[in-house]
Structure 1
Amino acid sequence: MEADVIGRTIAMLALLAGMGAQPAIAQGASDAPAGNYALDLAHGRLLFRVNHLGFSRYTALFTRFDAALVFDPAAPESMSVTATVDTASLETHYPDASFDFNAILTGPDFLDAAAFPQITFASTAVKQTGPQTADVTGDLTLRGVTKPVTLNVTFNGGYAGHPLDAGARIGFSAEGSLLRSDFGLTAGIPAPGTTMGVGDRVEVMIEAEFLNPDAPKVLE
């Protein structure tokens, strides 16, 4: 396990530094093959932010989530993705250890992780909007309510393999938003015409790398 982590770290550093004869990967460039890809959580982040009193956008994240991607660079609009999020894995990094803000937000007044332990997303359509961008629409199920949500996705590139990395690797960035009131999360929403509270609109930001372990390993 330790060797695998070290190998992947070296591979990433090699790509950044252009080690040896390995060329840098241009944004969006890829020779990664079509196939089934799984999330590499070590290189994945799922953050969200909401307006707080009109003064800032409060930002938090989920630390445990998974995703599966059917990837086909020759037919982007045929691709699909499913994802699950462990609701209880919400992390606010609240600085006062005597107050468990994570427990408040995952409790019954908000996400209610005990009753709804997972948040899920299943794509229903992919619409290509540019050479490396697409709108991915899917069904988001949150707190037992399912609504359509669209993510604006950018393909950052990938490779078919690397001597220090097992299998093909691809990467994406995505952004989207939703109204939490659509999912029954109404606590703290400001009264109309004010900002005294926590906003209804939730912005979602995702960074994700996916691996296809079945792709032939590149030896040199």
Structure 2
Amino acid sequence: MRILTCTTLAVAIFGTTALAEPARFELDPSHTAVFFTVDHIGYAKTLGIFGTVSGEFTYDTVTQDLSDVRVSIDAASVNTFDSARDGHVKNKDFLDVSNHPEITFVATGGTPTGDTAGTVTGDLTILGQTQPITLDVTLNKAAEYPFGHKRMTLGLSIETSIERSDFGMTYAVGNGLVGDTVDIKIETEAMKMD
């Protein structure tokens, strides 16, 4: 799967600069979940999850400088826990996966809001349309993994909301059958690359 790259953004997301020792991190696919909820006719929110996600970034655990963030989601990996609905979500009314197989995020900046929290701004591309978004990011833990690979691992919780109509996905927005606002959450562990 192709991953889009971005230019180095040299952002101090959770701190200030010092002597930096940046390292490259990759999302652990077995510990990464991108999930979303969207309103269904006002009754309840429908849950969906993307099963295939990849990404990398450069991060300095001392200075907390973040750069070169790139993430890719396989749009066809969407799962809403109902096969008929999954087929609909994959067709042209929603994700149109045959023509737009990839969802990407490329970071462009960031702002610290605390010692372990901040925002990351960037460009999200869905259906071939790119819109700026802001992610709220919490660094849960930064430590060597206690078993297995024993690599430095970062635990991150990330969330944002988008309007799907901003990306040209207007099916059932006007009649209120499916909400326009999509709440997105990401739970991930990112491992230092060798």
TM bin, normalised by shorter chain, reads 0.7 to 0.9
RMSD between superposed Cα atoms in Å:
1.6
Query: Quick check: 1:67 aligned with 2:55?
Result: yes
* Alpha-carbon shift at residue 75 of structure 1 (Å): 3.2
- For 2:4, the equivalent position in structure 1 comes to none
- For 2:10, the equivalent position in structure 1 comes to none
- Determine if contact 1:72/1:79 at 8 Å carries over to the other structure: no
Q: Structure 1 or 2: larger helix share?
A: 1
Structure 2 counterpart of 1:53, which letter?
I
Give the 3 Å change call, closer, same or farther, for CA 198–163 of structure 1 in structure 2: closer
1:200 pairs with one of 177, 180, 188: 180
2:91 pairs with one of 107, 113, 133: 107
- For 1:46, the equivalent position in structure 2 comes to 34
Structure 1 counterpart of 2:25, which letter?
Y
2-side partners of 1:164 and 1:87: how far apart? 30
Q: 1:104-132 CA distances to partner (integer Å, 9 max, x unpaired)?
A: 11111211101111000000001111110
Residue aligned with 2:169, SS? coil
Q: Structure 1 or 2: larger strand share?
A: 2
- Determine if contact 2:34/2:187 at 8 Å carries over to the other structure: yes
Aligned 1:203-214 pairs, distance under 5 A: 203-214=183-194
* Alpha-carbon shift at residue 83 of structure 1 (Å): 0.3
Structure 2 counterpart of 1:160, which letter?
E
Aligned 1:40-189 pairs, distance under 5 A: 40-94=28-82, 100-162=84-146, 164-189=148-173
Structure 1 stretches of at least 4 aligned residues deviating more than 2 Å after TM superposition? 73-80, 160-166
2-side partners of 1:59 and 1:190: how far apart? 21
* Alpha-carbon shift at residue 162 of structure 1 (Å): 3.7
Identical residues among aligned pairs (%) = 33
* Alpha-carbon shift at residue 163 of structure 1 (Å): 5.1
Structure 2 counterpart of 1:42, which letter?
S
TM-score (norm 1): 0.74
**Any gaps of 5 or more consecutive residues in structure 1?**
1-32, 215-220
Bigger Rg, which one: 1
Q: 1:59-101 CA distances to partner (integer Å, 9 max, x unpaired)?
A: 111000101021113333543421000010000111xxxx522
2-side partners of 1:110 and 1:188: how far apart? 10
1-side partners of 2:75 and 2:28: how far apart? 19
Structure 2 counterpart of 1:92, which letter?
T
Give the 3 Å change call, closer, same or farther, for CA 163–114 of structure 1 in structure 2: closer
- Determine if contact 2:23/2:193 at 8 Å carries over to the other structure: no
TM-score (norm 2): 0.84
Structure 1 counterpart of 2:85, which letter?
F
* Alpha-carbon shift at residue 161 of structure 1 (Å): 4.7
Residue aligned with 1:174, SS? strand
- For 2:15, the equivalent position in structure 1 comes to none
**Any gaps of 5 or more consecutive residues in structure 2?**
1-20
Residue aligned with 1:43, SS? strand
- Determine if contact 1:128/1:135 at 8 Å carries over to the other structure: yes
